[in-house]
Amino acid sequence: FFFLMIRRPPRSTQSRSSAASDVYKRQIQKCLKFMGKPQLEALLDAITEHLETFILSKEATQVINQIFTLHPHEKRLRQLLSHFNMDAPQPTAENLKKLLDPKRVDNIALKIVNKGTFDSPFGQALVRKAMRKMVPQERELVLDAIVEQIHQLPRTKPGALLCMDVVHFTDAKRRKTILKAVKGHVIETLQAAGVFGVALFLKIAKTVDDTVAVSKSVLTELLERGEDTLKDPYAQQLILGIFDDKEPLVREYFADAPSEKTSKKSDDQRRQELIANLSPGLLGLFNQSLTAELLGDMTICKMLYAVIKENIGNENATSDVVTLLQNILEATRKDFNEKINATRNVEELAEKLLVANQSTHRLVKGIVKLLGGTDIARNEQLSEFFESLFMFVDQNIGILAQTRAAFIILAFIEENTSYRDQIIQSLKTGLRNLPMNKPGLSLLQPYLQE
């Protein structure tokens, strides 16, 4: 009940951050008066576990104060006070109230910095909040203290978020120190901090101008893990974030980033340089490790599309790109032949075929659109691959048109590829006696009238 009231704002509230929070506070404080010790203990458990989140909200700290006024549990008070990384006062509700006063937050943060201990998630969150409000001279002193211990920080959510701000506010010299500190610990950090570790390394990639150093310190370690990197969800998100600024993770964790620019290069220049450094190793890794199992994974298909899209016009990468395209086609063709020999039931095939898989058909459709919108006539290797892909689709059009692979056929037509007329003629022949009420067939029906 307590958490439902926190998460759901009143429908009548115009702002979800101001009036809503006041309503929550009043509702929760009213409920506290009717709670027994077990319920208050349960709330304290949650608060202690997520203190770094609660402590940054004025309304939440007032609720904490009221809990201890109603239930002055000395042991709990001592536990909370110990999070301040400083000499704790006597464990009383009044002393806790003084420490939680928003006016004292900056002073507490500075004491944490002066003491030089950043191992507490609570302290990390406080320092991050205070650092954003400091004048440059104060912030420089804080940055010096933090950078010396930067390798200890990114293993928790608040620590990773603090590191992101440190990367943003600090200078090029300190950024090199940070890169040296994280080198060799990328996978360890991703496993410990999860998506917050991903966000940290994306912040480094989007801020540090020395992209060669970023590649050596961060990206090389990813590629050296081989196939394990392709299957690691956090490594996947990191690679996708470098290729695509529109990835949800990038939008979510950079929404409240400081607005002032602290790098000399443009975001697009830095991104292109990182992609150029990452692409050869990633293309090689995919060409060594690609299997039907990997092709069935949505995130891996996104990674494949990203690296193909960025390199399809790169003459130096053409050979690797074509090899990868051929490997994708060969895996789908082999799977198709195996499944078609096992059963001719189209409904069953629609569920089992790799080329009709929810992720794979989107990848192949994307490849058709990329090649259809590119002048590939001058590139013999790409032209030969596109012809091979067309022949696979054309020869099996009667079955593919009844599955999600119908979108691949549609791409051949809508992109006005050189095979458009042949595809339409094959559709008319292959679908002549089939009912048009199936989803895939209904998509293609308008072209049967041409």
Looking up tokens 């969150």, which residue turns up?
125
Q: What is the pLDDT of residue 326?
A: 94
pLDDT in tens, 297-327: 899 999 999 999 999 888 888 899 999 999 9
Q: Residues of the chain with pLDDT > 90: what percent?
A: 14
Please give the distance of CA 309 from its chain centroid, rounded to a whole number: 19
Are 185 and 163 in contact, with CB atoms under 8 Å apart?
no
Contacts of 10 (CB under 8 A, 6+ apart): 20, 23
Q: Mean per-residue pLDDT for 265-276?
A: 88
Whole-number pLDDT of residue 104: 53
Q: Roughly what angle, to the nearest 10 degrees, separates helices 172-182 and 136-147?
A: 20
Instruction: List all residues 6 or more positions away from 381 whose beta carbon is below 8 Å from its beta carbon.
Output: 318, 319, 322
Q: What is the pLDDT of residues 186-200, one digit of tens each?
A: 888 888 888 888 888
Query: For the segment 124-180, what is each residue's pLDDT rounded down to a tens digit?
Result: 777 777 777 777 777 787 787 777 777 777 777 778 888 888 888 888 888 888 888
Nearest to 267, CA basis, from 236, 242, 304, 248? 242
* C-alpha 126, offset from chain centre: 25
Running DSSP on this structure, what letter comes out for residue 247? S
Tokens representing residue 420 in the block: 């458009």
For residue 391, give every residue at least 6 positions away whose Cβ sits within 8 Å of its Cβ, in sequence order, or none.
none
Lowest mean pLDDT, pick from 128-142, 227-241, 271-285, 408-422: 128-142
pLDDT confidence tier of residue 18, bands split at 50, 70 and 90: very low
For 41-96, the DSSP string reads HHHHHHHHHTHHHHTT-HHHHHHHHHHHHHS--HHHHHHHHHTTSS----S-HHHH
**0.75 exceeded by the pTM?**
no
